[in-house]
Structure 1
Amino acid sequence: MASFAPKLAALSVAGISGSYLLAQQQSALAEESVPTPTAASRRNLPIYDSPAPPATLVAAPSPLQDQVGEARRFLQSNYDALHLNARAGAQQWIGWENTAEAHVKAMLPEDEDLTPGALYVGVATLAGSILARNRNILLRAGLPSAFFLASLSHFLPKTFDRVTLMAEALERRYVPGFTGIRAQATGLLSDLMGRAGL
């Protein structure tokens, strides 16, 4: 046991010296890694935690958002097509109005006063419909038209001539076969009126 004691003593001395050296190395490392606080750094130490960085939003489209976007694009494209068609229809309508205005201006002579003559023609046409009120269907259809044409030829003769010329031009253009039949009927009617002395 005597030989064991010096070994134990040597080991304990070695362990103490080793632990002392280890402690010195740790303190030296700690001194190197931690800076010594200066007077300026001691004054500026924060009391509160540092502020969190601002949150960044990441766009993540939902299925509803995609469907709404698709519906909006569909409606917008159809609205644009409808808008173009409406503008084209308006332009076509304006063209028809200009054509009708040109035809009406071509029918109305500048030297004939329309104000009393048109009123007389309207009254005569209404008188024809009143006379044919309780008659058969042929008289109800024909008598106002006959009164209209007769009063137009009497009160507005130049307008009647121009309307007749335009009607004949349309007849030759669209119903050329009817022109000959109408000419024969007009000839027969004038012959009958000539024989009757009218």
Structure 2
Amino acid sequence: MAARVLLQRRAAASLTATLLAGGIVLIPAMAHAEAPSDYRSKKPIYDDFDASPVNKPSQPPSQPSLTPTIASPRREDSFSVALEPTGPRGPTPTDRLAAQIRVGRLWLYRQASRAEDAVNAGMDRVFDLETSFTSTLASLAPPRESGERLMPGVVYVLVAAMAGSIVARNRGFVLRTATPLVFGVGAAWTVLPITSRNVADLAWRYEKRFPAVADAHLRAREGVEKGWHFAKVHVDVGKQKVDEAVTEARETIESWIRKGK
């Protein structure tokens, strides 16, 4: 009996010692589970209450981690990378402006080239006309070995034309116009035959460009030549008659003189 009581007391003492040791071990854990010191300064729990707990899940308090973490790209960076075009880039406003300036410069260059070509062509035509005019005038002059001089011959032609206008000043309009021309042309063919021939050939080359004018010139020339031929024939006939008359008169006078002796 005494032994049983002694065993019960030992068992109770060991149980008490075990409970005391367990309580000492559990005291730090219970102290760690207590609320923080600033618990009284926080707002009541109903202020942070959210009606949609699904949209805002609760997150445990972050604990410092000893493992290195890799920084993930920000949302804005990933969004800008996603928006960058992957195809060919279009022309910028600077490129379009440069293209327009290039077009304008090319247009100005073409216009300047056309103006320069037109001026050069005009100057070439002027030089050609000047060369043709000078060569034509040089071709009209008589050669030096002919002995024909232009200066006194031209003066004689002008004097003859003025004399014709004086002769026909009281005549009709046609005669007043034609007489100086006839006198001048006649004096030119008499005083300046080579120059007159050159001028006639030049006029004929220009007249052949207009068939009607050339035909009229040929008809007029034929009429003048026929009239000149007839006039020459009549002059020859008249000269012959005058010579015959003079001869007869001389013979008659000589016969009278013989008879008188």
Q: Which amino acid aligns with 2:200?
A: A
Q: CA RMSD in A?
A: 4.3
After TM superposition, give the deviation of residue 64 of structure 1 in Å: 7.8
CA separation of 1:191/1:110 partners in 2, compared to 1, >3 Å: closer, same or farther?
closer
After TM superposition, give the deviation of residue 187 of structure 1 in Å: 1.5
CA separation of 1:116/1:183 partners in 2, compared to 1, >3 Å: closer, same or farther?
closer
Q: Is the 8 A contact 1:124 1:151 kept in 2?
A: yes
Q: Which amino acid aligns with 1:119?
A: V
After TM superposition, give the deviation of residue 7 of structure 1 in Å: 1.7
Q: Is the 8 A contact 2:168 2:175 kept in 1?
A: yes
After TM superposition, give the deviation of residue 166 of structure 1 in Å: 6.1
Look up the match of 1:103: 139
Is 1:7 aligned to 2:49, yes or no?
no
Structure 1 window deviating more from structure 2 (129-138 vs 97-106): it is: 129-138
Q: Max radius of gyration: which structure?
A: 2
Q: How does 1:130-169 map to 2 (within 5 A)?
A: 130-133=166-169, 135-154=171-190, 156=191, 159-164=192-197, 167=200
- 3-state DSSP of counterpart to 1:61: helix
Q: Which amino acid aligns with 1:7?
A: A
Q: How does 1:12-51 map to 2 (within 5 A)?
A: none
Q: Is the 8 A contact 1:107 1:162 kept in 2?
A: no
Q: Which residue of 143, 164, 167 maps to 1:128? A: 164
CA distance in 1, matches of 2:154, 2:108: 55
CA distance in 2, matches of 1:169, 1:98: 14
Unaligned runs of 5+ in 2: 1-22, 35-62, 69-93, 209-213, 243-261
Q: Which amino acid aligns with 2:196?
A: V
1:71-96 CA-to-partner distances (Å, cap 9, x unmatched) read 52342132133123213313431342
CA separation of 1:143/1:186 partners in 2, compared to 1, >3 Å: closer, same or farther?
same
CA distance in 2, matches of 1:11, 1:130: 154
Unaligned runs of 5+ in 1: 13-17, 26-57
CA distance in 1, matches of 2:201, 2:171: 31
CA separation of 1:109/1:142 partners in 2, compared to 1, >3 Å: closer, same or farther?
farther
After TM superposition, give the deviation of residue 191 of structure 1 in Å: 1.3
Q: Which residue of 218, 236, 239 maps to 1:194? A: 236
1:138-172 CA-to-partner distances (Å, cap 9, x unmatched) read 11221111221233345x2xx22552476379759
Q: Say how many residue pairs are matched.
A: 154
Q: Identity rate of aligned residues, in percent?
A: 18
Q: Which amino acid aligns with 1:105?
A: A
CA distance in 1, matches of 2:230, 2:102: 79
CA distance in 2, matches of 1:153, 1:168: 13
Query: Normalized against structure 2, the TM-score is what?
Result: 0.43
CA separation of 1:73/1:152 partners in 2, compared to 1, >3 Å: closer, same or farther?
same
Q: Which amino acid aligns with 2:234?
A: L
Query: Normalized against structure 1, the TM-score is what?
Result: 0.53
